Amino acid sequence: MTTSMKHRSHASTRSMSPADKLARGLGWLSLGMGLYQLVAPRRLGRALGMPHRANSIRACGAREIASGIGALSDNPTNAIWSRVGGDVLDFAALTFALKRYPSHKENLYLALTAVGVLAVVDVSCAKALSQRHAYQGGATPDYRQRSGFPNGLESAWGAARTEGSNASGPPQRPSPNAV
């Protein structure tokens, strides 16, 4: 590994806020959950009492993977907000399943609890990310009217002329022994 690669790696982790790190963790979690929903939809459907909903579970898995990929990006704000939307959809589907398939109540309550906890984490992370990245998406301030000289450029030139006229003789170089 070269020195520049080490430096880049350190710089990328140094600027991450706790919300960015949480978003990254949620992204990996989302990828894992999405992959499981894509690979084993019938098994998950049987556990939730919805054995004939494999395609719906696969669609949820694809949504989770899309959100997970977005959560691993430089600005994961939109991806985490999309997870919040997915949580609402999951609540609706699980609540519908609870009414329609009451024989699997325990697993459905467990799933609802998990979705509720993740929804709270998603909302808090999304709000923190929105505040952190809000200034980066705004308009760039216009500094064309500023010169860097609070009293104007003419005043600064005048001060230099006055200071130069008060000096006696040509400017002197500092002595090497002065340091």
Instruction: Classify residue 96 as left (phi > 0), alpha (psi -120 to 50) or beta.
Output: alpha
- pLDDT-derived band of residue 7, with 50, 70 and 90 as boundaries? very low
- pLDDT-derived band of residue 135, with 50, 70 and 90 as boundaries? low
d(CA 135, CA 17): 14
Structural Rg of the chain based on CA atoms = 30
pLDDT at 69: 96
- pLDDT-derived band of residue 8, with 50, 70 and 90 as boundaries? very low
Amino acid code (one letter) for 3: T
d(CA 47, CA 109): 12
Amino acid code (one letter) for 68: G
pLDDT, one tens digit per residue, over 68-89 is 999 999 889 999 999 999 999 9
pLDDT, one tens digit per residue, over 90-120 is 999 999 999 988 888 999 999 999 999 999 9
At residue 158, does pLDDT exceed 90? Answer: no
At residue 10, does pLDDT exceed 60? Answer: no
Which whole-number Å values give the CA distances from 80 to 20, 30, 59, 122, 126, in the listed order? 10, 10, 18, 6, 6
